[in-house]
Structure 1
Amino acid sequence: MTARSRSAKPPTARREARSPAPARPPRRPRSPGSSLASRQGLYARAKRAWDRPLTAYYLILGGSLLITALGLVMVFSASQIEALRSGLSSTYFFRKQLVAAGLGTLLLFAASRMPVRLHRALAYPLLAGSVFLLCLVQVPGIGREVNGNQNWIYLGGPFQIQPSEFAKLALVLWGADLLARKSDKRMLTQWKHLLVPLVPVTLLLLGLIMLGGDMGTAIILTALLFGLLWLAGAPTRMFAAVLAVTATVSAFLITSSPHRMSRLGCIGATDPGPDDQCWQAVHGIYALASGGWFGSGLGASVEKWGQLPEPHTDFIFAVTGEELGLAGTLSVLTLFAALGYAGIRVAGRTEDDFVRYAAGGVTTWITAQAVINVGAVLGLLPIAGVPLPLFSYGGSALLPTMYAIGLLIAFARSDPAAHAALAMRQPARWQRLLRGGLTGPRPDGGTPGRKSRKTMRRRPERRPSGER
């Protein structure tokens, strides 16, 4: 065999070697229509996910818990120097806030599981208790003055409560129950039934709160009153008249107090001014300005070392901006925006008048208080002395706010579509227990252990004529 024959390849191999590789088809240029269609499909999927029945439920639950957790971290960071200056342990304020957050979580869970009729039953006792405690604040020896405001009741040891914070929750529940009862009787079309007794009772609460000098809480109660009137469908003329009266009274109260006038003059201030009357407002701006994009780091704030008054209460947002930067403050604002959107969504999608008024009242309360606090820190509004909801230090403010969040969660769960969606996600054994036991017959006559068909309709099917 010659060398040529040994090196020769089989005919098949030669043909494969000679045949060129198959050419890849050229890519078609993507048309503008296909990219537009893909974007529209993505938008449609996002819209379907956003419109799911449990969206409001998860936004309220997740947003409130995230705000509370981040608030605990910032209270621990912002309060250490203040505690040491007072001769206390560096974790003193953090431990008190942690206990209040634990109790508030229990309140949130209990409120979220309570039926709506039980919330309505608590409205009048809570209102009467709030009025009694507000009167008790003015009794010498019982009421305590803090930062010039007589609005605290001493409980012994390190514990004291601020009854005006519970008055917010009382006004929401009582006002929603009152308006719902009148709506059922078709009485809200008359202005006297729309205003009486809602406005007189609110004025009683405002008067008791203003006796202690707490104008910040009075502003929140006024916003609550306007929110309830707006939800009840007050006509524009009536709404404008109440707003004019409120503005006149507020102007008189502000101009009659030099302290309140000085706070009004600190809007947009960049210099502490004579006698350092704008010291707190200016150093709040300094704290935000020195934070930059991502802050100086957790615990590295400079302003909390005696420069910024109330760093863990009214001005904790300024310390957050200094330590976590613009990213941290925008995260907090985004969580509050999501919470407000979810509250509006619950109020707008319900068919129950009480749920609509109560959800709208809670949303007005939390949103207005957050706007007033953040606006004061940014120098856009006068310093009103109100804490940032769920975020600032203060158990008296945290407990009723978390109960109000539990109220929103209960309302979000009471929606028929959300209730059915939550029931689908429960384990099969728990579903059988809810339907009457593991081996007993189901109320619908089906076989035990077999999954029943769920429905997302708001109205149940008509029962058979013989069923009771």
Structure 2
Amino acid sequence: MTAVDASSVGRRGPGGARDALARFLRRPLASYYLVLGAAGLLLLLGLVMVFSSTTYMSTQQFGHPAHYFLRQLLWVTVALPIAWVISRMPLRVLRALSLLMVIGATGLLALTFVPGFGVVRGGSRNWLDFGGPFLLQPSEAAKLALIIWVAHVFANKGKLIRHWKQLLIPVAPVAGFVIALTLGQNDMGTAAIMVLILLTMLWVIGVPTWLFGLMMGVVGVVGVYFIFTAPHRIERMGNFLDPFADYTNTGYQAANSIFAFANGGWWGTGLGASTQKWGTLPEQHTDFIFAILGEELGLPGTLMVIVLFLALGYAGLRIAMRTTDTFVRLAAAGITGWFMVQTVVNLGMVLAVFPVVGVPLPLVSYGGASIVVTVAAVGVLLSLAKHEPGAKEALAARREQRLERREGRTT
């Protein structure tokens, strides 16, 4: 074998792949493309799985198999332009809108308690009905609004943030009120996600260890209180490790989720060939869509989803770590923490590692409000990625190249 052949083999081998990956990650816009690619693939896979998991239910309820898929496609079509606008929005505009976002989200949360507007679904009063064909879930918008506003407040404090009281005022009362409204809706899963998002951001900003430990203790005590004051939560906590002990009641969803993975085996039954979606597994297109994915696509499909979320999480952390802007760092950490925490909770719930708490899988599960807000959050991440070192220069150079190509075609 010649030297040229040997070097060619080396470039094609594992070492060559690692070198190519290293070169890609050294590019100023690597985080931007990672967020765009991972989120785009998850969104596309979600559309496929929503269609696959709802064909029977849609046919039974509406007479044709694509009802839920078309609604999800409509929401995605609405969400993508919003994300595009946000990704190109100057950060000063996003920050200026942060207070209005929190006020608006809080007002919508409060509106769920008004008779005639609030709708109870799945035991939680976390939906708004304005009389149209679609329902709105304000708690989803509240997550993103809180992240943007908290990042803006902390960034404005500057060096004052070194004093622990500045970490709590006004963030603690405002966030506490939003979380209290969510708990009042009987939506403990979403409230827990909000708390974990805020703890992530406080950790990133550098909260004193004693204060962080105190907050963790308070959160733990409050969480235990809410669990043991609700009989249905006590049952879930007592049975989630062995769903088959109460198969016909509290363990039904978790047990059938396990059946889905067992039926799929290593390689899956094939796209569209799930048996659990035929009315056996409740919420198969929302909270438990990962179980249907595991049944139909097997281990390769589940690993693909996990890898895509890990890539999205890595890109978000990379944005937070590489920037010198406090707002960018906190907003990126908050959005990344939200996606990762909610993903872990959903996968743990579907795999019967965690109790069933009713949390969808970001970008994949069916749901109008959740898909619009999570895609909008991806747009925020894309905007934040443009503030990494060298990213603005790379974007300017790319625009110049496109302009030159257009001018070349017109001459």
TM-score interval, normalised by the smaller of the two chains:
over 0.9
Alpha-carbon displacement from aligned partner over 1:337-392 (angstroms, at most 9, x marks no partner): 00000000000001111000101000011111111000100111111101000100
Q: Aligned equivalents of 2:176 and 2:283: distance in 1?
A: 30
Match of 1:231 in 2: 204
- Deviation (angstroms), 1:142: 1.0
Q: Which amino acid aligns with 2:265?
A: G
Match of 2:6 in 1: none
Q: Aligned equivalents of 1:272 and 1:301: distance in 2?
A: 25
Q: Which amino acid aligns with 2:47?
A: L
Q: Structure with the greater relative contact order (CA < 8 A, sep ≥ 6): 1 or 2?
A: 2
2:149 equivalent to 1:174? yes
SS at match of 1:110: helix
Q: Aligned equivalents of 1:323 and 1:154: distance in 2?
A: 34
* Cα pair 1:266 1:379 within 8 Å, conserved: no
Alpha-carbon displacement from aligned partner over 1:166-219 (angstroms, at most 9, x marks no partner): 10011001000001011x2x1111111111221211110111111110111101
Structure 1 residues 429 and 63 mapped into 2: Cα distance closer, same or farther (>3 Å)?
Answer: closer
- Deviation (angstroms), 1:147: 1.3
* Cα pair 1:272 1:282 within 8 Å, conserved: no
Query: Mean alpha-carbon deviation: is it higher for 330-339 or for 290-299?
Result: 290-299
Match of residue 157, structure 1, among 114, 132, 149: 132
- Deviation (angstroms), 1:27: 9.8
* Cα pair 1:272 1:278 within 8 Å, conserved: yes
Q: Which amino acid aligns with 1:348?
A: M
Matches within 5 A, 1:159-308: 159-182=134-157, 184=158, 186-271=159-244, 273=246, 275-308=248-281
Structure 1 residues 137 and 336 mapped into 2: Cα distance closer, same or farther (>3 Å)?
Answer: same
Q: Aligned equivalents of 2:19 and 2:73: distance in 1?
A: 42
* Cα pair 2:247 2:255 within 8 Å, conserved: no
Match of residue 93, structure 2, among 118, 131, 135: 118
SS at match of 1:101: helix
SS at match of 1:336: helix
Match of 1:78 in 2: 53
SS at match of 1:156: coil
SS at match of 1:140: coil
Matches within 5 A, 1:55-134: 55-87=30-62, 89-134=64-109
Q: Aligned equivalents of 1:330 and 1:42: distance in 2?
A: 20
SS at match of 2:27: coil
SS at match of 2:126: strand
Structure 1 residues 78 and 44 mapped into 2: Cα distance closer, same or farther (>3 Å)?
Answer: closer
Matches within 5 A, 1:327-338: 327-338=300-311
Q: Aligned equivalents of 1:284 and 1:375: distance in 2?
A: 11
* Cα pair 1:199 1:225 within 8 Å, conserved: no
Q: Aligned equivalents of 1:429 and 1:385: distance in 2?
A: 46
Structure 1 residues 324 and 431 mapped into 2: Cα distance closer, same or farther (>3 Å)?
Answer: same
* Cα pair 2:144 2:373 within 8 Å, conserved: yes
Q: Aligned equivalents of 2:132 and 2:16: distance in 1?
A: 61
* Cα pair 1:301 1:319 within 8 Å, conserved: yes
2:295 equivalent to 1:322? yes
Match of 1:389 in 2: 362
2:49 equivalent to 1:49? no
Aligned residue pairs total 403
Match of 2:7 in 1: none
Q: Which amino acid aligns with 1:54?
A: L
- Deviation (angstroms), 1:244: 0.2
Larger Rg: 1
SS at match of 1:297: coil
- Deviation (angstroms), 1:274: 6.1
Match of residue 146, structure 1, among 115, 121, 141: 121
SS at match of 1:107: helix
Q: Aligned equivalents of 1:346 and 1:188: distance in 2?
A: 21
Q: Aligned equivalents of 1:212 and 1:289: distance in 2?
A: 35
Match of 1:21 in 2: none
Structure ranking higher in helix proportion: 2
SS at match of 1:309: coil
- Deviation (angstroms), 1:418: 1.8
2:340 equivalent to 1:371? no
- Deviation (angstroms), 1:293: 2.1
Query: Mean alpha-carbon deviation: is it higher for 407-416 or for 395-404?
Result: 407-416
Q: Which amino acid aligns with 2:169?
A: V
SS at match of 2:140: helix
Structure 1 residues 323 and 189 mapped into 2: Cα distance closer, same or farther (>3 Å)?
Answer: same
Structure 1 residues 386 and 261 mapped into 2: Cα distance closer, same or farther (>3 Å)?
Answer: same
SS at match of 2:144: helix
Q: TM-score, normalised by structure 2?
A: 0.93
Alpha-carbon displacement from aligned partner over 1:250-272 (angstroms, at most 9, x marks no partner): 00000111111122123232515
- Deviation (angstroms), 1:157: 3.1
